[in-house]
Amino acid sequence: MSESLGPLLQLNAITKKFGATTALDAASFEGHAGEVHALMGANGAGKSTLMNVLGGVVPMDAGEIIISGSPVQIRSPHESKALGIAFVHQELNMLPTMTVAENVFIDALPQYGGLVDRDRMRKGAAELLERLGSRFSPEQPVEELSTGDRQMVEIARALARDPRIIIFDEPTSSLTDRERQRLFAIIRQLKQSGVAVIYITHFLDEIFHISDRVTVMRNGQTVGSSAIAAITPTEVVRLMLGEVERQERLREPHAAAGKPLLSVRGLTRRGVLHDIGFELYPGEIVGLWGLLGSGRTELVHALIGLDPIDSGELRIAADSEDRPITPKALHRQIGLVTEDRRGEGLLMPLSVVGNLSLASLSQLLSPLRLIDRRREQAFAEEIVARLKIKLNDPRQAVKTLSGGNQQKVVLGRWLATGPRLFILDEPTRGLDVAAKAEVLRLTTELATEGASILLISSELEDMMRVCDRYLVISRGRIVGELPGGADKNRLMEAVSGGHSTAAAA
C-alpha cells in the first residue's frame, strides 16, 4: 500500500476528562489503509477511552478526528458506524440463543415488507463466513459454537457493513493457539484489502508478529509511536512503564535461608497456567513480575483455590517436615490482599472495627459465646494504632476512609491472625506516594518478623524497593528468576519475551 495517500484516520490531541481525572491528555493516533497499527498500554492508560471516542461511545472534550483528510464529528455509535468504523469487542457481546446470522445482522436486520428477510440475512451471513474461512452454518445458534468461532461471528458482524477501519480490542485473550493463528490470517487478509486495522493487546509477541506500527499509551497520553521494524520489545515495555525512578530501597535484599515455607510444583490450569514451580522461604519478599495478562492474578487465584487447578502440588512446612496442602486449606492460613480492594478486600458499608475483626471473631468471644464488643473495639484500636490507620472513629464505615487507609485495614485484618505467608496482589494500586511507602514499609516489617511474602505489582518502582527476588511470569509460565538487586533494564528485558529480545539485547 502506498503511504503517499496520507493517513486514513487521524486522531489529533484528543482530550477527555471524567470529573477531576484526565482520561485522555492530548492523545494522538494515525491509522493507514492496509496497515495494522497496535495500541499498547497498561491498564488505565487510556486505550479504551481513546477507542470509545472513535466509536462514538464517549464524547471528547477537545481534539479533532480526521478521516480521509476531512474533519468529522462522531457523536454516537451510529455516526461512527456510518463513517465505516467497526469494533470487534473483547468480551463477546453475543445473543447466545439466536442464530449466527441473526447475531451478525442484529443491528441492521434486512427487512421485507416489515418482516425480517431471513433469506437475505442467511445469504449475507454465509458470504461473510466464507470470507473468514469459517465452516459453521449461519443457522447454528451461537451458544453451540466454541469461543474461537464466536470471535469469528463477532468479526463477521464487524465486516457486515464493509468498514474502512476495524478496531480489535484484545481479541486473543481467550483463544487457543490455532484460533489465534486463524485470526492473524484474517487480519492479514483485511490488511491486504485495504482496511486500517487497530489492534489493542497486552501481548508483546503478538505486536511483533502481526503489526506494522505500534503506539504506546501511558496516563492518557500517547507516549511513543514507531514502525515495528524500528523498535524492540524492551523499548515498548519501557514506553509502557515510563521512566522508572530508582527509589531508595526500604530493605536491602535478604538472602533466603533455611527450608522453604511453601513449595509449588507443576501447578497447571489448562490454557491459563503451565507447570508453575517455585519456593517461598521464610522472611523473604518475592516479587511476581509480569505484564498484565501474563497470568499473575490467575496464579494467585489458583494458589488459594478461588479458581480450580488441573494438576500440581503445593507443600507447606509444618513442624519439621513439609506436608501437602490443598489450595483451599492454604487460603485459610494466609493473609490475602487482592487486587480488587472494593470488590474482594473489604465490606465497604461495615465499620472499620467490623472489617478488622472479621477473621478473628473467635478470639473475641465472651464466656456466653457472644462477641465481646469492648474487646472487639480494643482489638481494632490496637491494629489502628499499630498500622497508623488515619480515621475519626473506628466505628465509621470503611468506605469513608482514603484508599491507603482502606488498604491498611485489609492488611490489618490478616495481621491479627498471624499468618506465615502473605499474598499481596497490587497492594499499592491507586494509592498516593506517601500511602504507597507506608504499605511497602509494612510489607518489609512483616518479612522481617519472619513471614514469607509473594508480592504482585504492575508498578516496578514499588517492587524494586522491597523485593528480595523476582519470579518472572509470562503467558502463564515462570520464565525466569532474577535477584533482588536486578536493575530496571534487566527486569524490563525479562518480560519483553525471549525471541526478538535475545536478538536485540
Partner 1 sequence: MTTAAVRRIASIAAPARIVPLLLAIAILVFLYYHAPHFFAVRNLINILVQMSSLGLLAIGMTLVMIGGGIDLSMPATMAFGAVLGAFYMRAGGNPAVAALITLVAVAAVGTINGIAAAWFKMTPFVVTLASMTAVGGATVWMTNSVSVSHFPDAFFNFYLARPFGVPVTVIILVVAALIASTVMSSTIFGRWLYAVGINARAARVARIPVERVLFATYLVSALLAGLTGVLLSARLGSASANIGNDGVVLDIVSACVVGGVSIYGGTGKPLGAVFGAFFITLISNSLNQLGVSYFMNLVVKGIVIIAFIYLDKLARREP
Given the rule CB under 8 A, which residues bind partner 1?
306, 331-332, 336, 338, 343-350, 354, 357-359, 361-362, 365, 369-371, 373, 397, 399-400, 413
Q: Least distance from C-beta 344 to partner 1, angstroms?
A: 5
206: closest CA among 106, 127, 291? 291
Q: Least distance from C-beta 76 to partner 1, angstroms?
A: 27
Closer CB to partner 1, residue 66 or residue 350? 350
CB–CB of 322/312 below 8 Å? no
Closer CB to partner 1, residue 60 or residue 346? 346
441: closest CA among 246, 247, 284, 249? 249
111 exposure class (CB count in 10 Å sphere: 0-12, 13-18, 19+): exposed
Q: Least distance from C-beta 306 to partner 1, angstroms?
A: 8
Closer CB to partner 1, residue 170 or residue 376? 376
Strands 285-289 and 469-474: parallel
d(CA 103, CA 309): 34
Q: Least distance from C-beta 412 to partner 1, angstroms?
A: 12
Report the interhelical angle of 118-131 vs 147-159 (nearest 10°). Answer: 110
Q: How many CB atoms lie within 10 A of CB 326?
A: 12
d(CA 3, CA 138): 38
Sheet holding 85-88, edge to edge: 85-88, 165-169, 196-200, 36-40, 213-218, 221-227
Q: Least distance from C-beta 192 to partner 1, angstroms?
A: 46
Closer CB to partner 1, residue 242 or residue 403? 403
Q: Least distance from C-beta 262 to partner 1, angstroms?
A: 18
Q: Least distance from C-beta 400 to partner 1, angstroms?
A: 6
Which helix (H) or strand (E) segment is 26 a member of?
A: strand 21-31
d(CA 101, CA 149): 13
Q: Least distance from C-beta 280 to partner 1, angstroms?
A: 20
Q: Least distance from C-beta 467 to partner 1, angstroms?
A: 24
Q: Positive or negative CA dihedral for 455, 459, 464, 470?
A: positive
CB–CB of 428/436 below 8 Å? yes
Closer CB to partner 1, residue 51 or residue 334? 334
304: closest CA among 449, 412, 407, 456? 456
CB–CB of 125/152 below 8 Å? no
Closer CB to partner 1, residue 69 or residue 418? 418
Closer CB to partner 1, residue 246 or residue 332? 332
d(CA 198, CA 454): 36
Q: Least distance from C-beta 440 to partner 1, angstroms?
A: 22
Contacts 24+ apart (CB under 8 A), 313-322: 313/264, 313/265, 313/266, 313/267, 314/262, 314/263, 314/264, 314/265, 314/267, 315/262, 315/263, 315/265, 316/261, 316/262, 316/263, 317/259, 317/260, 317/261, 317/262, 322/259, 322/260, 322/263
In order of 38, 204, 420, 448, 461, the CA distances from 495 in angstroms are 18, 9, 29, 29, 15
Closer CB to partner 1, residue 289 or residue 379? 379
Q: Least distance from C-beta 406 to partner 1, angstroms?
A: 11
Q: Least distance from C-beta 19 to partner 1, angstroms?
A: 12
Closer CB to partner 1, residue 227 or residue 365? 365
Closer CB to partner 1, residue 97 or residue 362? 362
CB crowding 25-61: b at 16 or more within 10 Å, else e: bebbbbbbbbbbbbbbbbebbbbbbbbbbbbbebebe
Closer CB to partner 1, residue 320 or residue 392? 392
Closer CB to partner 1, residue 79 or residue 307? 307
